[in-house]
């Protein structure tokens, strides 16, 4: 196909795509439909483009259905397990025991998530003093952190970071928030790091995943952990173990 | 997470949020379908899945960018239309006093075996193309991205370069599909 014909065909494809996306004006649409009636080549191209669009939509819908079926199977498995436990307890005829089992189960579930966090949260004990981009203002925050005075470290980090954008300090500020149990704040800070261009993504993913676990949002922790396992992160092994425990 | 955050995360393609939304309304939707319209639970589950797909696609295709009502109200409105179709197909009556919102009516194309085979070929060929071609074509034809958005997302120099690349990808896809199916090309 020569260049002129190719350009012409590309223009037609663009027009057909706009028609299929319902982006033509009334006048354009009327002209379009008239052309479909009289121009066989254009009609054929129209059919091809329609087929491409339908094929891609069909493929994506199938993928979505597969994904939803997987969620459905997961729910059904949980339901089956629950029903089995329930009927067995009824057969035993001990309603009190059933209640006890349920209470213990809830208690263990809660503590399991909490316990996982406690087992894996191993933040740096001390931070090296490195001159930050904005000067040496971070000294007080780092000193407070290294002395275990996290309330003061929190205040000093806030003062220091205000006015500069140092991802290293934001990272340690996030860890300080975790140490103080302020997980919502930590989440915001870690997401700020992940949205920026910096070298702290790998470690941040690890602490953000732990934050999600503490917030009972395991669904959001899992993809982060999976990403860590396929990277060279220093937390790769911990992430693998944690994933196994989450899925157990 | 607010409903706007949910819509935004779904628009970014978050599978985790999709799973959370699916689980959140599933039981209530199925119970409602079974008790109000006497559906069996398998049909209710099928309709719920279709409802979630429509909801998700409406977000991806930018037909739904914000919601005045709750997500639950929106899902149940879509579901009600799908239930009506289901009841009509099986010759049952949809309650006449049950008001339907026409905005939620959604026509799903019936796919015959021949077309299904052809669509499977599309899937094979798209996989064969690989990225960025596959993602560019999906973004354009499924997610309704403009060429300007594609240029930004896939780091093309400008819209013209993105457009040129899309044409090449499209041509490669067609060559592959038509070679496998033997369909004549223009």
ipTM of the complex: 0.81
Domain annotation covers residue B80: yes
Q: What is the pLDDT of residue A130?
A: 67
B62 and B10 within one domain:
yes
A201 vs chain B: nearest CA distance in angstroms? 19
Q: Tell me which of B52, B82, B104 is where a domain ends.
A: B104
Do B35 and B92 lie in one domain? The reply is yes
What pLDDT is stored for residue A234 in this prediction?
A: 84
The CATH number covering residue B143 comes to: 1.10.10
Closest CA in chain A for residue B141? A53
In a domain, B117, yes or no: yes
Kindly state whether residues B56 and B16 are assigned to the same domain.
yes
Lowest pLDDT segment from A48-57, A161-170, A212-221, B68-77: A161-170
Positions of CATH 1.25.40.10 in chain A = 139-247
Pairwise CB contact (< 8 Å): B53 & A61:
yes
CATH 2.60.40.1180 fits A139-247, yes or no: no
Question: Could you read off the pLDDT of B118-177 as tens digits, one per residue?
Answer: 888 888 898 888 888 888 999 899 888 888 888 888 888 888 888 989 999 999 998 888
Average pLDDT rounded to a whole number, residues A90-94: 70
pLDDT score of B105 more than 50 = no
A68 and B167 in contact by Cβ < 8 A?
no
pLDDT at position A108: 56
Whether residue A87 has pLDDT greater than 90: no
B119 and B71 within one domain: no
On whether any CB of chain B is under 8 Å from the CB of A13, the answer is yes
Within this chain, do residues B87 and B151 fall inside the same structural domain, yes or no?
no
Q: Within chain A, where are the H helices?
A: 3-20, 26-38, 40-92, 95-120, 139-146, 150-161, 167-179, 183-195, 201-214, 218-229, 236-247
Residues on chain A touching B22 (C-beta within 8 angstroms): 68, 71
Tally of domains within chain B: 2
- Determine the pLDDT at residue A1: 62
> Which 3 state secondary structure label does DSSP give A135?
strand
Q: Which of B20, B123, B174 sits opposite A59 (nearest CB)?
A: B123
Q: Is residue B186 within 8 angstroms of chain A, CB to CB?
A: yes
> Would you call A191 exposed, middle or buried from its count of C-beta atoms within 10 A (0-12, 13-18, 19+)?
middle
**First-last CA distance in chain A:** 59
The verdict on B21 and B95 lying in the same domain is yes
Residues of A in contact with B123 (CB under 8 A): 55, 59, 62
Residue A12 distance to chain B (closest CA, Å) = 11
The answer on pLDDT for A173 being more than 60 is yes
Tell me the C-alpha distance between B150 and A220, whole Å. 27
Is B119–A219 a contact, with Cβ atoms under 8 angstroms apart?
Answer: no
Q: How many other C-beta atoms can be found within 10 angstroms of the C-beta atom of residue A246?
A: 16
Domain assignment present for residue B186? The answer is no
Residues B19 and B67 in one domain: yes
State whether B9 and B98 are in the same domain: yes
B19 and B93 in a single domain? The answer is yes
pLDDT at A181 over 70: yes
Q: Is the CB of B49 less than 8 angstroms away from the CB of A21? A: no
| pLDDT per residue as tens digits for the range B39-58 | 888 888 989 999 999 999 88
Beta carbons within 10 angstroms of residue A223's beta carbon: 15
Q: What is the pLDDT of residue B93?
A: 65
Shared domain check, B140 and B53: no
Q: What is the pLDDT of residues B2-38, one digit of tens each?
A: 888 888 888 877 788 888 889 889 888 888 888 888 8
Q: Based on the domain organization, do B25 and B82 belong to the same domain?
A: yes
Listed as own residue / partner, the contacts of B171-174 with beta carbons closer than 8 Å and 24 or more positions apart are: B172/B129, B172/B133, B173/A52, B173/B122, B173/B125, B173/B126, B173/B129, B173/B133, B173/B137, B174/A48, B174/A52
Round the average pLDDT of chain A to a whole number and report it: 82
Question: Residue A157 above 90 pLDDT?
Answer: no
Identify the domain containing residue B64 by its residue range: 3-104
Q: What is the CATH number of the domain that holds B62?
A: 1.10.1740
What residues contact residue A224 under an 8 Å CB cut-off, 6+ apart?
A205, A206, A208, A209, A212
pLDDT at A204 over 80: yes
What is the spatial distance between Cα A174 and Cα A178, in angstroms, rounded to a whole number?
6
Q: Are A204 and A171 in contact (CB under 8 A)?
A: yes
Domain's final residue, options B104, B131, B166 = B104
DSSP result, A86-101 = HHHHHHHT-HHHHHHH
Q: What's the rounded Cα separation, in Å, for the pair A2 and A234?
A: 55
Length of chain A, in residues: 248
Q: A with B: how many residue pairs have Cβ under 8 Å apart?
A: 78
Q: Do B19 and A10 touch (CB under 8 A)?
A: no
Do residues B88 and B30 make contact, with C-beta atoms less than 8 angstroms apart? no
C-alpha dist (Å) from residue A37 to A9, A32, A239, B154: 18, 9, 61, 37
By the 8 A CB rule, do B109 and B123 touch? no
The CA distance from A77 to B85, in Å, is 30
Q: What is the pLDDT of residue A206?
A: 93
Q: Tell whether the torsion through CA atoms of A244, A126, A201 and B11 is positive or negative.
A: positive
Q: Which of B123, B54, B17 is nearest to A63 (CA)?
A: B123
Closest-CA residue of A relative to B135 is A56
Suggest the residue from B141, B146, B174, B179 to mutate for an interface test with chain A (most A CBs closer than 10 A): B141
Contact B119 A220 (CB under 8 A): no
Residue A211: the pLDDT is: 93
Question: Considering only CB atoms, which chain A residues are within 8 Å of B42?
Answer: none
Residues 164-223 of A with CB under 8 A from B: 219-220, 222-223
B180/A contact by beta carbon, under 8 A: no
Among B85, B104, B123, residue at a domain's last position: B104
Q: Any chain B CB within 8 A of the CB of A53?
A: yes
By CB atoms closer than 10 A (0-12, 13-18, 19+), residue A33 is: exposed
A115: left (phi over 0), alpha (psi -120 to 50) or beta: alpha
Alpha-carbon distance of B86 to A27, in angstroms, equals 38
Contact B126 A51 (CB under 8 A): no
| Nearest-CA distance B147 → chain A (Å) | 10
């Amino acid at each position: 196909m020569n260049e002129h014909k190719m350009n012409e065909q590309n223009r037609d494809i663009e027009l057909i795509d706009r028609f299929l996306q319902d982006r033509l004006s009334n006048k354009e649409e009327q002209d379009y439909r008239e052309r479909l009636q009289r121009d066989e080549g254009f009609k054929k191209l129209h059919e091809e483009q329609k087929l491409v669009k339908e094929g891609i939509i069909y493929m994506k819908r199938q993928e979505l259905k597969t994904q939803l079926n997987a969620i459905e199977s997961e729910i059904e498995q949980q339901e089956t397990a629950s029903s089995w436990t329930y009927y067995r307890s009824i057969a035993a005829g001990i309603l009190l025991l059933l209640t006890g089992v349920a209470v213990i189960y809830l208690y263990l579930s809660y503590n399991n998530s909490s316990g996982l966090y406690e087992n894996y949260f191993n933040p740096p004990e001390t931070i090296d003093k490195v001159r930050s981009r904005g000067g040496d203002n971070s000294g007080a925050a780092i000193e407070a952190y290294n002395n275990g005075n996290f309330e003061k470290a929190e205040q000093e980090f806030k003062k220091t970071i205000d006015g500069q954008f140092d991802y290293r300090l934001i990272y340690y500020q996030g860890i300080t928030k975790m140490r103080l149990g302020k997980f919502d704040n930590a989440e915001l800070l870690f997401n700020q790091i992940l949205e920026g261009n910096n070298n702290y993504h790998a470690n941040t993913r690890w602490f953000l995943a732990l934050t999600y676990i503490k917030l009972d949002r395991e669904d959001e922790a899992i993809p982060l952990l999976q990403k860590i396992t396929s990277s060279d992160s220093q937390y790769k092994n911990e992430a693998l173990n944690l994933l196994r425990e989450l899925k157990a | 997470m607010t409903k706007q955050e949910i819509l935004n995360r779904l628009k970014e393609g978050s599978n985790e949020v999709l799973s959370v939304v699916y689980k959140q309304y599933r039981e209530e939707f199925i119970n409602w379908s079974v008790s109000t319209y006497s559906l069996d639970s398998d049909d209710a589950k099928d309709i719920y899945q279709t409802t979630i797909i429509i909801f998700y696609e409406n977000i991806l295709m930018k037909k739904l960018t914000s919601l005045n009502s709750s997500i639950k109200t929106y899902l149940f409105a879509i579901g009600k239309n799908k239930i009506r179709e289901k009841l009509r197909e099986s010759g049952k009556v949809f309650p006449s006093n049950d008001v339907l919102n026409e905005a939620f009516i959604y026509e799903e194309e019936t796919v015959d075996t021949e077309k299904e085979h052809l669509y499977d070929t599309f899937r094979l060929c798209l996989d064969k193309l690989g990225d960025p071609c596959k993602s560019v074509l999906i973004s354009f034809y499924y997610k309704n991205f403009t060429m300007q958005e594609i240029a930004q997302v896939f780091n093309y120099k400008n819209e013209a370069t993105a457009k040129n690349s899309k044409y090449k990808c499209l041509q490669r896809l067609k060559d592959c599909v038509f070679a496998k199916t033997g369909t004549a090309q223009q």
